[in-house]
Amino acid sequence: MAKSSKISGFYKLSVHERLKVLQEQAELSDEDIEVLSNTGALTLEQADRMIENVVGTTEYPLGVACNFLIDGKEYLVPMAIEEPSVVAAASNMAKIARVKGGFFTSASEPVMIGQIQITDVSDPFFARQAILARKKEIIDLANEQDPVLVKFGGGARDITARVIDSIVGPMVVVHLMVDCRDAMGANAVNTMVEACKPLVEEISGGKVYLRIITNLAKFRVARARAVFDKKTVGGEDAVEGVIKVYALALADPYRCSTHNKGIMNGIDAVTIATCNDFRAVEAGAHSYAAMNGDYKPLTKWEKNKDGDLVGSIELPLAVGTVGGATSVHPVAKVARKILDVKSASELARVMAAVGLAQNLAALRAIATEGIQRGHMGLHARNIAQMAGATGEMIDKVVEVLVKEKNVRVDRAKEVLEELRG
Ligand code: MEV
């Protein structure tokens, strides 16, 4: 337990001063402080400008998924993730997809939605129409806030308005649709809807409280589809198995949650590698999956007339290639170079393809040999290291654990002792 968590002026200190205070308060060793001070490619100074109260950085392994052929273009896909098997699984499925031409993708325009909530309106239906009638004024005011976005071809495009019943009475909710081009768009959209508050209050006669972007970015979706040759994917039974496993996700939210989690393993990893907002991507994906009332899979799996497995995915992907941390983090910048994407929309399409590949890898493993076989070797490596194995001892311990199908730290410790004699 920290001696005290009430540290006045912590935010005003330099990183080194903060580390001193932290060492004292959390009783850290000099080695602990050295671990925190070793920040990798992102310097302490850069990190300190990104968030508050910085005392270090944390690193994820960065892998590169291979074999991705998307719309005829070759992609190497950087993925930052701590979970074993994910990068290998994506690469394997991308390899299978190549047999039938790889992935084919499309995307909507990069349009995000900003919400404005008008409360305390005596005549909400009348107010709704009054707002819609003055749509041009609202859009012009929004666009005045971001001339740069407008110059690059983006900006506020349209509005809608709904009357919603709530526990505090009816309210009018205005949606401002903003084309964010290559930016994720939260800053642009939030600035616009905040600026619209006085005008919207004047028109409606109500009071505006909430004005902020929604992560349910249903107008900013990316899609990917691919045909997976039945023989290469594992034969008729594997195709059948994938569809049956998918059928459960369609019918059952408990399974659907894990089904979508597997998709997000891939999508999050690319989101993090490019330093995009993975919380926004997650929120968007799961709310989209539940948009019609029931929580549904983000992918669809079918069999075509040749008996091949065909998969498709569609989800909102609010990611950017300009602005925010994507343009600051040195590793994210290199990750973008590796990806060689020219726009946020292209990045989103690649991510959708990765999500589809990741999903198939999981479904195929579950439907055939089970998920543990592939996981076991890599999991055993982590366990062996946790037990204290280093260098070539790691492989030796792993071999025994996998053979015994007993991947536990206590057993790894015993094996290590035996091996050390
Ligand atoms: C594990 O991180 C992801 C899976 O559980 C996904 C799935 O079950 O579809 C394997």
Residue with tokens 């075509």: 304
- 267 alpha carbon – ligand 1 mean position (Å): 13
DSSP summary character for residue 322: B
Q: pLDDT tens digit string along 333-358?
A: 999 999 999 999 999 999 999 999 99
Distance CA 315, CA 308 (A): 24
Distance CA 42, CA 414 (A): 39
Give yes or no for residue 85 CB within 6 A of ligand 1.
no
Distance CA 100, CA 115 (A): 43
- Contact (Cβ atoms closer than 8 angstroms) between residue 51 and residue 231: no
Mean pLDDT of 318-339: 94
For residue 369, the model assigns a pLDDT of: 86
Give yes or no for residue 375 CB within 6 A of ligand 1.
no
Mean pLDDT of 291-295: 96
For residue 377, the model assigns a pLDDT of: 79
CATH number of 62-106+222-369: 3.90.770.10
Give domain 111-214's CATH number out of 3.30.70.890, 3.30.70.420, 2.60.120.10, 2.60.40.10: 3.30.70.420
Q: How far is CA 330 from the centre of its chain?
A: 19
For residue 187, pLDDT beyond 90: yes
For residue 221, the model assigns a pLDDT of: 98
Question: In this structure, what are the phi and psi dihedrals at residue 301, rounded to the nearest 5 degrees?
Answer: -125, 130
Distance CA 322, CA 145 (A): 18
Residues contacting 115, CB < 8 A, separation 6+: 173, 174, 175, 176, 193, 210, 211, 212, 213, 214
Q: What predicted TM-score, i.e. pTM, was given to this entire model?
A: 0.92
For residue 365, pLDDT beyond 80: yes
- Contact (Cβ atoms closer than 8 angstroms) between residue 379 and residue 254: no
For residue 4, the model assigns a pLDDT of: 83
Distance CA 169, CA 24 (A): 52
- Helices in 145-277 by DSSP H: which ranges? 147-151, 186-195, 197-204, 230-233, 236-251, 253-273
- Contact (Cβ atoms closer than 8 angstroms) between residue 174 and residue 96: no
The CA-atom distances, in angstroms, between 139 and each of 111, 179, 196, 201 are: 14, 12, 9, 15
- Contact (Cβ atoms closer than 8 angstroms) between residue 273 and residue 194: no
Secondary structure, 3-state, 169-190:
CCEEEEEEEEECCCECCHHHHH
- Pocket test residue of 259, 260, 354, 373 for ligand 1, highest count of atoms within 8 A of CB: 259
Q: What is the number of the ligand 1 atom nearest to the C-alpha of 363?
A: 9
Which is it for strands 155-164 and 299-303: parallel, antiparallel or unpaired?
unpaired
Q: Is 82 a catalytic residue?
A: no
Q: pLDDT tens digit string along 32-89?
A: 999 999 999 999 999 999 999 999 999 999 999 999 999 999 999 999 999 999 999 9
Give yes or no for residue 259 CB within 6 A of ligand 1.
yes
Across 141-163, b (16+ Cβ under 10 Å) vs e yields bbbebbeebbeeebbbeebebee
For residue 176, the model assigns a pLDDT of: 98
For the chain, domain boundaries: 10-48, 62-106+222-369, 111-214, 373-420
Look at residues 85, 376, 362 and name the one whose alpha carbon lies nearest to residue 241.
362
Give yes or no for residue 134 CB within 6 A of ligand 1.
no
Query: What is the SS3 assignment for 133?
Result: helix
Regarding the domain delimited by 373-420, which CATH topology (the fold level of the hierarchy) does it fall under?
Helicase, Ruva Protein; domain 3 (1.10.8)
Query: What is the SS3 assignment for 162?
Result: strand
Structure confidence at residue 294 as a pLDDT band (50, 70, 90): very high
